[in-house]
Amino acid sequence: DLKFGRDRDGLNFEPVAPNTLDQIVVPKGYQQDVVIRWGDAVLPDAPKFDFDNQTPEAQAKQFGFNNDFCGLVPLPGWDRWLMVSNHEYTTESFMFKDWAPDKITERHAKIAWAAHGLSVVQVERDHRTGKLVPSKDKRRYNRRITLTTPFEVRGPAAGSQYLKTSADPTGKKVLGTQNNCSGGVTPWGTILSGEENFNQYFANADLVTDPDTKAKLGRYGFSGKGSLRKWENYDKRFDLAQEPNEANRFGYIVEIDPLDPTSTPVKHTALGRFKHEGANVIIARDGRVVAYMGDDERFDYMYKFVSDDCYLPGDSKRAREHNKRLLDSGTLYVARFKGDSPVAEIDGTGKLPSDGEFDGTGEWIPLARNDKSFVDGFTAEQVYVFTRLAADKVGATKMDRPEDVEPSKKNRRIYAALTNNTDRGVKPGKEGATEIAPRVNNKHGHVLEVEERRSDNTALTFSWKLLLVCGDPKSPDTYFGGYDKSQVSAISCPDNVAFDSRGNLWISTDGNALKSNDGLFALPVEGKRRGFVKQFLTVPNGAETCGPVITDDFVLVSVQHPGELDGASANNPLSHWPDGGTSQPRPAVAVIWRKDRGHVCD
């Protein structure tokens, strides 16, 4: 196709047009199918999914609801992996026909607990069709982790007074993980997953009387009396009036070792507590590991963690056990950005800053290192459990909802999706446009590129630029890395980022404010086509695209909450994806590959 001529970056597919179809749309020459969907068997003895007669016991053996992050850990041999999916949240009105806020039962609550957490599913490539499929052998590795699976708390705040509850006086053992949004695969073959919007599941913040406890809960978004899902009626740990510290036991990066199905999953306090989107690790040149992280809230912050110890290469038992301890001790930093141009705001005429770019410099402000706090008025333990308040204190830069923050292994730069912030410059008392967040009422978000000083990921200073200011390219308040805007696809609300083996950036979106379906996009970050955004696929109406995995041979996407549209429910499904007919919509992982079995990028 001459219009989109071939290039060494390999992104030679013909872009998909915006649409509102109830299906996955892929470029010409590619095909797609479902790998696994909500309710499909994960454990060998899982019963067949029965929407109308679901039980907690069945759900605990089946693929959970609303999968977000997806990661692949290779198994020895060819074309076999452990696929790990996060199950971020439950939407009971889509899961049950008999659910209503005044008709909630223990069965609803317990199914929801079992539908959270993560799934580990062995997958392989079917060489007859080219499709990725769950392996028939479910015995060895397949695993469900739910909201009742025991976790070990590690790092500086393990055993903290703020983590002790009547059920766990040690403050070191938490039942379950929830709201696991994005994540990452570590170089040592484990999965990191971020506990994000955990506040919504707790009741009675308004009944907490101690003013200090109440203020801390408030900074994390806990409010109100009864919760929507009424879990507090079935487990008192969700009632903050009775168990205020239970709130402090969520909001961490968790680490799962899928290669060891008997391992106890870990909550890492050394990476701080906030609405963790996810965490992605790179090995710095000196061997220490650096994890980059975002706190997905309007006007919240970007963080990094630098380990004390160095990565041990290889997959010997000794190396793996050592590496699985790397996130226990190190230094936690928060980012402060400075623009370099007097005119910061992208105005209605599309005028860029005087130097032609949204760019500048910045520094990583240390918050704590193990038992040492660098923040006035905070103990180290307080920094790790109430990280947002410590970062407020040091004047971290307020950002437009940092979602994925991921280093490229090709160029060592960091790419961050700032998904949107419609409060910027709009909500009274809130900050207006700055060079790093240059749009008031930021509906479409932007994508940031950070280069650490001397490309050293442990550095304390960096330079940065905005790679994309998203939206309709026809609109003057957008920017596509300086590329010709008449050529690019519209993109809105970047959420997850990933890289292919050539270093191209792939971006999935959540909440497309241009009124068409969400999707997956790709662009080169180097060379003449830097900024040339092309849409690779769209997901069904009402769904969010997440968890993209880009291998040479196929692409995986999570199709989260298909059919989540105004007025829709299990009694009125407005999507029938993926099974068609009159079926209920089911969140799923989908695979996309080329019909001619060629490489995705070619």
Residues that bind Ca ion (CB under 5 A): 181, 340-341, 353, 355, 357, 359, 403, 495, 510
Token pair for 333 = 């930093």
Binding mask 488-517 for ligand FEO (x = CB under 6 A): -------x----------------------
Q: Which residues of 148-182 are buried (b: 16+ CB within 10 A; e: fewer)?
A: ebebebbbbbbbbebbbbeebeebbbbbbbbbbbb
Using rule CB under 6 A, residue 518 touches ligand FEO: no
Q: Smallest gap, in angstroms, from Cβ of residue 41 to ligand FEO?
A: 26
Q: Smallest gap, in angstroms, from Cβ of residue 68 to ligand FEO?
A: 6
Which one, 160 or 558, has the nearer CB to ligand FEO?
558
DSSP one-letter string for 243-255 = -GGGGGGSSSEEE
Which one, 357 or 431, has the nearer CB to Ca ion?
357
Using rule CB under 6 A, residue 181 touches ligand FEO: yes
Q: Smallest gap, in angstroms, from Cβ of residue 403 to Ca ion?
A: 5
What lies within 8 Å, CB to CB, of 83 at 6+ separation is 35, 36, 70, 71, 72, 120, 121, 122, 123, 556, 589
Alpha-helix runs per DSSP H in 275-418: 317-323, 380-385, 387-393
Q: Smallest gap, in angstroms, from Cβ of residue 588 to ligand FEO?
A: 17
Q: How far apart (Å, rounded) are the C-alpha atoms in residues 175 and 151?
A: 6
Q: How far is CA 579 from CA 38, 562, 588, in A?
A: 12, 12, 11
Q: Smallest gap, in angstroms, from Cβ of residue 89 to ligand FEO?
A: 8
Q: Smallest gap, in angstroms, from Cβ of residue 94 to ligand FEO?
A: 17
Binding mask 285-324 for ligand FEO (x = CB under 6 A): -----------x----------------------------
Q: Which does 56 bind (CB under 5 to 8 A by kind): ligand FEO, Ca ion, none?
A: none
Q: Which does 355 bind (CB under 5 to 8 A by kind): ligand FEO, Ca ion, none?
A: Ca ion
Q: What is the DSSP letter of 518?
A: -
Which of helix, strand or coil describes residue 487? coil
Token pair for 540 = 């069904």
Paired with 372 in beta bridges are: 369
Using rule CB under 6 A, residue 452 touches ligand FEO: no
Token pair for 454 = 């001397």
Site for ligand FEO in 183-202 (CB under 6 A): 196
Paired with 339 in beta bridges are: 360
How do beta strands 132-134 and 143-145 pair? unpaired
What lies within 8 Å, CB to CB, of 87 at 6+ separation is 63, 64, 65, 66, 67, 68, 115, 116, 117, 118, 119, 180
Which one, 86 or 122, has the nearer CB to ligand FEO?
86
Using rule CB under 6 A, residue 400 touches ligand FEO: no
Backbone CA torsion sign across 567, 570, 576, 581: negative
Which of helix, strand or coil describes residue 231? helix
Which one, 158 or 588, has the nearer CB to ligand FEO?
588
Size of the residue set binding ligand FEO (CB under 6 A): 7
Q: Smallest gap, in angstroms, from Cβ of residue 546 to Ca ion?
A: 6
Q: Which does 196 bind (CB under 5 to 8 A by kind): ligand FEO, Ca ion, none?
A: ligand FEO
Q: Smallest gap, in angstroms, from Cβ of residue 197 to ligand FEO?
A: 7
DSSP one-letter string for 136-147 = S--SSS-EEE-T
Which one, 251 or 353, has the nearer CB to Ca ion?
353
Which one, 328 or 400, has the nearer CB to ligand FEO?
400
Which one, 477 or 510, has the nearer CB to Ca ion?
510
Backbone CA torsion sign across 195, 199, 203, 207: positive
Q: Smallest gap, in angstroms, from Cβ of residue 292 to ligand FEO?
A: 15
Question: Binder to ligand FEO among 40, 277, 406, 500 (CB under 6 A)?
Answer: 277
Q: How far apart (Å, rounded) are the C-alpha atoms in residues 216 and 68?
A: 28
Which one, 124 or 296, has the nearer CB to ligand FEO?
296
CA atoms within 13 A on the CB side of 305: 28
Which one, 265 or 445, has the nearer CB to ligand FEO?
445
Q: What is the DSSP letter of 167?
A: S
**Sites of contact with ligand FEO (CB under 6 A):** 88, 181, 196, 277, 296, 403, 495
